[in-house]
Structure 1
Amino acid sequence: MSEQKATRARRIRSARAAIRHGNVAPRKGGRTLLSWIGAGLAVVMVATASIAGIAFWDISRSAKEGVALANDQRIPDIGAIEGGVNFLLVGSDSREGTDPNVFDADPGSVLNDVNILLHISADHTNATVVSIPRDMVVHYANCPDGGGGWSGPINGTLNEGGLPCVVLTVEELTGLSIPFAAMIQFNGVIEMANAIGGVEVCVAEPIEDEYTQTFLDAGMHTLSGLQALQFLRTRHGVGDGSDLGRISNQQVFLSSLVRKLKSAQTLTNPVALFGLAKAAISNMTLSNSLNNIDTMMSIAMALKDIPLENVVFVQYPSSTGGTGIYAGKVQPNQAEADALFAALLADQPIALSGTTGNGSVVDPDAAAKAAAQAEAEAKAAAKAAKKATATPTPTATPSATSAPAETPAPVEVAVLPENVNGQTANDYTCSAGRTLDQQ
């Protein structure tokens, strides 16, 4: 059996086992979160905004000691948001506010070059992050402020009618209702990458891209600031030079990002959280529904306990083709897309049976790295458990006549076709680099 097929088999078995035992209410714990998932161009985040909410909420509590009144009431804990969540992160190619000596010329338009949809299941046991190729031809929804109603590459919807138009178009494309959305630009990606302290990525073969000035030798690299943005933007330097290859390369970054955020060292560091919050608030445009600390906190709480193997990054099922004016553009693979979104609409967890995509390959040191990650998480969990037992929370004593708790029925995992690419946050991958001689 080839290494990729063996990896696919392990991935499906792991997903089935995890979900089979995971259909329970989310565990209670401290106010840490695994919320910076979404993100694309940035990447950066599945919901970066949630981190901002938690940081400012904690900061506001300790800003200054007030005067205690006789009828003071304790601020209640904010729990996980009820039910499922659909959140869209849009990465804009706008050059507004950027250094003209660093970036290429302003294209004169505002395109949504990154479109990342986050779906959190209603029981908060799994999350799916769908990357929609920027060149994929879709039907534009009728935009709230006019425009739309025709077809073209999806990255034109932001220029057509702003963030609301992008959201409506993705809703029409997927069948999902999307109440939360955010937009980030180049400078925002740079600041977010700096705030997290960089993300370590594995490069299998050298990456050389003169368009984005991305030049990385094979090996491990910790990317922050402009270098992180260049890595996320590179297309010519990875895979086959296509937008689809770029997505799988971005997922190398995103999966590593999630693993870093999952570590207790990152999520319990007040300085790091404040830096993320400041960067997010200063560099993102949020929908009104998301521009609320309680809402951001609630979304974060829904994400924080999802295990890495249940966070799935998937490319929107598509392939390059088309005819006429759309020749060479990315086209949806409708049957596979229908299977993916039918599963999400039914709130089924998904498992991948395909490869990571041509922009990435399996990390040859994946087993050792996974073992180290598991050990680190076990130590963090033990530390958190020890802290929790030091200040136990009173619990109600069950009645002698109480009925035994029912064992939840196993949840069926929707296994996607082999031509749907992606990976989980627990899969260790490396960028499949492309040199100038290969371009």
Structure 2
Amino acid sequence: MSDPWDGPGDRATRSRTGRVPVQREAAPGAARPAGGRAAAKAATRGGRAAARRRVRPVGRGRRVLRIAGICLALLVLGTAGVGWWFYQHLNGNINSVSLDGKGGTEKADAFGRTPINILVMGSDGRTSQADCQLGGGCSRTGVQTGSNADVQMVVHISADRSNATVMSIPRDTMTHVPACKDSASGQSTAGYYGQINSALQYGPACQVATVHQLTGITIDHFVKLDFSGVVKMSDAVGGVPVCVSDDVYDTYSHLKLSKGTHTLKGVAALEFVRSRHGFGDGSDLGRTVSQHIFLSAMIRKFKSAGTLTDPAAVYDLADAATKALTVDDGLGSVKKLVALAADLNKVPTKRMTFTTMQTAPDPNNRDRVVVGAGAGSLFSTIASDQSLTTGSGGKSTAATATTKPTATAPPVPASEIAVTVENGTTITGRASAIATTLTEQGFGSGTSTANAPSHATTTSLTYGPGQEAEARTAAQALGLPDSRLKQGTGNRLILVIGSDWPSGTTYPDSSSSPAPADTGSAVSNAHASTADQAKTCAKVSTYRTVTLNGVSMTPSQAYAAARGKPDSDA
């Protein structure tokens, strides 16, 4: 094996100095050295000895260099080997699933940049012993096979990476689930009307397709975590600091915390993000807000210098993340996940907006909700890659949940509005799809469908005298820009679906200006906040949402009554 330090130059040098040539005889006629033949021999022996003395230090130096070179090479190879093992190890952790084209196709902006939309799902599945232990409910059934997406967040990163929006969709939302088949289990459905979180039973791609159909937002990727994934991630970052407004004991998720700030790790973190009876009104709407507080704190922790500059912390985080996540095959490698994290890291926390999709009570079930007025504007804002914060991170529109849309007339409740939806395309079922969306959002039972008198190239919503406010409410629900509204002479709202709206239930505005122009309507009643709000506390419910020893009480009363139970972060 050749020595890595033995280059061409070294070989040439060795041939000259490795061996001393024998002294040549004197040329004829030259004077013989004084002292005769004995003196000449002695001089020759002395010259050879001197040469050997000169060569030895060079040989020792060369051996030292050779040893150093071998050590360095082994060090480099060892380091590279560890890096390669680490890379392969992380890649081996990742579980990826194909989206099968269910999420739509993203459009580039004028500069060729594209936004990124990711559906983040939290699964309630008890598909392992660890999840059975954490989630409970396996005492009779054992390890289960199906799961629901009890957490659904559309994470939008803008094309220029300057801002991001996170929109939660409550799990109790009723919607149409399209025809789906899970490539892994083979389980399929022809489509049905039901709770949105149930689509995950037919695979992650089905959940993506359902959210895409509901919102009209292109979904490029998905990330799914289970119970144990939340535990691993919170442990990897060294805990997540959260604040609660009062003492809280959710007897269902088992979260028990005193008033104030706590750093939650492991099971305590899972109890916090699962708690729906401890916060807000005790429903899933209150839970989405507390989850935003948790995620904002986790993002701030990710961005802190101490987390990302500590090699041990980075390794623990990467190892935990890759073990905890199921992703689509577009994110199915460490390289792709790192690129995604780098894109998200570019966005300042003051320009990350958290919102919850606006909802209305389901008229058929008080324990369920449907898409509410204003949700169409929020969907359209995300689909149009429009920021919900100002360039300086101002929260005048995004962080104020009471912001009102700037309409020219007072808003009219959706339940008082009936819309005639006419199909002006050659695509069967377009009017029915839009009409169903309107009724799901609480519009009046008089909403009906028909075929348009002739083919329409552009979509339009025509309203009669005095019906402008009704038209704007309908337009907001569907993401229609003002340019598609026009006043007529009749007394009905007539929506004609044109060929510019061939699919989806949110209008795909293709104009150069973003829609909607007013982001106030997009965040109205959306519980909006930004990730830099470190002092925000989760509002503990003041309703009797929990039960202790058979008695209904508030979470704070339950905390006081359960003094013997240790706190979650004890």
* TM-score (norm. length: structure 1): 0.66
Tell me the CA shift for residue 97 of structure 1.
2.0
Answering whether residue 269 of structure 2 is matched by residue 228 of structure 1, we say yes
Conservation of the 8 A alpha-carbon contact between 1:207 and 1:237: yes
| 1:76-155 correspondence runs (5 A) | 82-99=113-130, 100=132, 102-106=134-138, 109-145=146-182, 146-155=188-197
Conservation of the 8 A alpha-carbon contact between 1:200 and 1:221: yes
User: Mind listing any 5+ residue stretches in structure 2 that lack a counterpart?
Assistant: 1-77, 85-111, 183-187, 389-396, 403-512, 547-552, 556-570
Answering whether residue 398 of structure 2 is matched by residue 352 of structure 1, we say yes
| 1:47-66 correspondence runs (5 A) | 62-64=80-82
Question: How many correspondences in the alignment?
Answer: 310
Answering whether residue 198 of structure 2 is matched by residue 156 of structure 1, we say yes
Q: Secondary structure at the match of 2:211?
A: helix
Tell me the CA shift for residue 413 of structure 1.
7.2
Conservation of the 8 A alpha-carbon contact between 2:218 and 2:383: no
Tell me the CA shift for residue 342 of structure 1.
1.3
Tell me the CA shift for residue 61 of structure 1.
7.6
Conservation of the 8 A alpha-carbon contact between 1:208 and 1:433: no
Tell me the CA shift for residue 148 of structure 1.
4.7
Larger RCO, structures 1/2 (Cα 8 Å, 6+ apart) = 1
Give distance in 2, aligned partners of 1:265 and 1:104: 35
Query: 1:418 maps to what in 2?
Result: 524
Give distance in 1, aligned partners of 2:212 and 2:526: 20
Give distance in 2, aligned partners of 1:202 and 1:230: 14
State the one-letter code of the partner of 1:432: K
Conservation of the 8 A alpha-carbon contact between 1:174 and 1:341: yes
Give distance in 1, aligned partners of 2:338 and 2:386: 24
Q: Secondary structure at the match of 1:431?
A: coil
Conservation of the 8 A alpha-carbon contact between 1:184 and 1:284: yes
CA offsets, 1:261-295, max 9 Å, x none?
12111122221121111112222212111102332
Q: Secondary structure at the match of 2:238?
A: coil
Query: 2:297 maps to what in 1?
Result: 256
Query: 1:438 maps to what in 2?
Result: 554
CA offsets, 1:124-170, max 9 Å, x none?
100111111011111102214431521111111111x1101001011
Give distance in 1, aligned partners of 2:207 and 2:340: 21
RMSD of the TM alignment (CA)? 2.6
CA offsets, 1:199-237, max 9 Å, x none?
000111111111111110001100000000001101111
User: Mind listing any 5+ residue stretches in structure 1 that lack a counterpart?
Assistant: 1-59, 67-80, 357-408
Answering whether residue 336 of structure 2 is matched by residue 295 of structure 1, we say yes
Give distance in 1, aligned partners of 2:80 and 2:235: 25
Tell me the CA shift for residue 117 of structure 1.
1.1
Tell me the CA shift for residue 298 of structure 1.
2.3
Tell me the CA shift for residue 305 of structure 1.
1.9
Distance of aligned partners of 1:170 and 1:410 in 2 relative to their CA distance in 1, 3 Å threshold: closer
Distance of aligned partners of 1:65 and 1:275 in 2 relative to their CA distance in 1, 3 Å threshold: closer
Conservation of the 8 A alpha-carbon contact between 2:349 and 2:530: yes
Tell me the CA shift for residue 327 of structure 1.
3.4
Match of 2:235 among 182, 194, 205: 194
State the one-letter code of the partner of 1:97: S
Q: Secondary structure at the match of 2:381?
A: helix
Conservation of the 8 A alpha-carbon contact between 1:317 and 1:336: yes
Tell me the CA shift for residue 62 of structure 1.
4.9
Distance of aligned partners of 1:148 and 1:230 in 2 relative to their CA distance in 1, 3 Å threshold: farther
The structure number with the bigger radius of gyration is 2
Give distance in 1, aligned partners of 2:273 and 2:369: 19
Distance of aligned partners of 1:217 and 1:307 in 2 relative to their CA distance in 1, 3 Å threshold: same
Match of 1:328 among 352, 359, 367: 367
Match of 1:340 among 358, 378, 382: 378
Q: Secondary structure at the match of 2:385?
A: coil
State the one-letter code of the partner of 1:355: A
Distance of aligned partners of 1:178 and 1:417 in 2 relative to their CA distance in 1, 3 Å threshold: closer
CA offsets, 1:80-111, max 9 Å, x none?
x9521011111111122235555321375411
Give distance in 1, aligned partners of 2:191 and 2:83: 55
Give distance in 2, aligned partners of 1:260 and 1:84: 24
Q: Secondary structure at the match of 1:331?
A: strand
Conservation of the 8 A alpha-carbon contact between 2:279 and 2:287: yes
